[in-house]
Amino acid sequence: MQHRSVTEAARTLGVSQPAVSAALKRLEQNVGFVLFRRESRHIVPTVEAQLLHQEALHALAGFAELEDAAAGISAGQRGVLTVASSPGPGIVWLPEIISRFRRDRPDTKIRLLTRSSDNVRSLVSSRAFDVGIAEPPFDRTNTVLKRYRFALQCVLPATHALTAHETLTPDLLEGSDLIITSGSRTSYAAISRAFEASNTPFHPAIECEFFAIALNLVIAGAGICLVDALSISDTLRRIGDTSALVIRPFSPSVFYEVGLLKPNLGELSVLAKQFAKLLDDYTAPHVAQS
């Protein structure tokens, strides 16, 4: 069809002229109609050949797309990734990770499911997600790929008198408008125990569900909050102007922990493995050392 010549077609394909002629004859027998007619030293395609050629081009393009799709899936550049997360990470730091992930993989589709940690853990057996992020406790039915621990830090307005201290303790925080997240049961209990161990009354002024809300309350001047280091870092990056807030370590050390989960059955997809690697790299600077 391109060269209008059996000889040129054979030369382009790197085969003999009789081989091309034989292939054309077999094809005409298979399709049931004549493909070319000879005129002078050239061959001229019939109307039926032109129609078949167009269909062949479409079919070949489909095969090429299929090969591209397979290559993209194999390289982790195409596909659908479902991430189930507890609200804390889902609201504060997963959006940045997902944005970076898709920036390098624009042909991927991401489904972010925000559920309670209990719900995420219960979804493990149903394969409702590719990777999940949830708070402990974990049991033998949960396949935990990795645990991440982040130290809780105090976030307070820059004008607050306690900014004069390098480290804040329960006794120093007594009497302050303390903002605590009750949505994270493990960190709430750990903070309560820290106050109890120092014989300091634990009376939060404000209780909210998520770290993001606690940080916004501090920004609005409502008090002091205890939030994990990664949520603080992501929030400060978004608001740009960090001069209004001060970060201080909290002693004794209290940690916020989440685990990266996978479904019980099957292996991680290429996309899921790449997402887990990006999550690992992104969180690494803020993970508390054991």
Q: 146-195: per-residue pLDDT in tens? A: 999 999 999 999 999 999 999 999 999 999 999 998 866 678 889 999 99
Total residue length of the chain:
290
> What share of residues in the chain are helix, strand, coil (percent, to 5)?
45, 25, 30
CATH number of the domain that 198 lies in?
3.40.190.290
What's the domain range around 238? 149-255
Token pair in block for residue 278: 């990006």
Query: 55 and 83 share a domain?
Result: no
Half-sphere exposure of 78 (CA within 13 A, CB side): 10
3-class DSSP state of 135 = coil
- At residue 117, the pLDDT reads 92
| Nearest one of 196, 190, 228 to 212, comparing CA atoms | 228
Query: 167 and 250 share a domain?
Result: yes
| Nearest one of 193, 227, 192, 195 to 209, comparing CA atoms | 227
Query: 99 and 53 share a domain?
Result: no
pLDDT (tens digit per residue) in 231-264: 999 988 887 777 889 999 999 999 999 999 998 8
Query: 176 and 106 share a domain?
Result: no
CATH number of the domain that 26 lies in?
1.10.10.10
Last residue of a domain, one of 16, 43, 74: 74
- At residue 68, the pLDDT reads 57
- Position 269 in a domain: yes
- At residue 72, the pLDDT reads 57
Q: Name the β-bridge partners of 42.
A: 39
Query: 274 and 135 share a domain?
Result: yes
Query: 169 and 233 share a domain?
Result: yes
- At residue 179, the pLDDT reads 96
- Kindly give, in sequence order, each residue whose CB lies less than 8 Å from that of residue 135, ignoring residues fewer than 6 positions away: 86, 88, 117, 184, 185, 186, 256, 257, 258, 259
- At residue 162, the pLDDT reads 96
Q: How far apart are CA 282 and CA 155, in angstroms?
A: 21
Query: 183 and 250 share a domain?
Result: yes
- Position 1 in a domain: no
- At residue 290, the pLDDT reads 63
3-class DSSP state of 156 = strand
Query: 160 and 194 share a domain?
Result: yes
- At residue 183, the pLDDT reads 61
CB 226 within 8 A of CB 191: yes
Query: 156 and 243 share a domain?
Result: yes
pLDDT (tens digit per residue) in 30-75: 989 999 988 877 788 898 888 888 888 777 767 766 665 566 556 5
Half-sphere exposure of 47 (CA within 13 A, CB side): 0
CATH number of the domain that 280 lies in?
3.40.190.10
Per-residue confidence band for 129, with pLDDT thresholds at 50, 70 and 90:
very high
For the chain, give the percent of residues with pLDDT over 70: 92
Query: 165 and 207 share a domain?
Result: yes
Token pair in block for residue 62: 């489909």
Q: How far apart are CA 227 and CA 229, in angstroms?
A: 6
Query: How many folded domains does the chain comprise?
Result: 3
- Position 171 in a domain: yes
Question: Distance from CA of residue 136 to its chain's centroid?
Answer: 21
- Position 48 in a domain: yes
What average pLDDT does this structure show over 197-206? 95
- At residue 170, the pLDDT reads 97
- At residue 76, the pLDDT reads 57
Query: 70 and 164 share a domain?
Result: no
Query: 41 and 139 share a domain?
Result: no
- At residue 289, the pLDDT reads 80
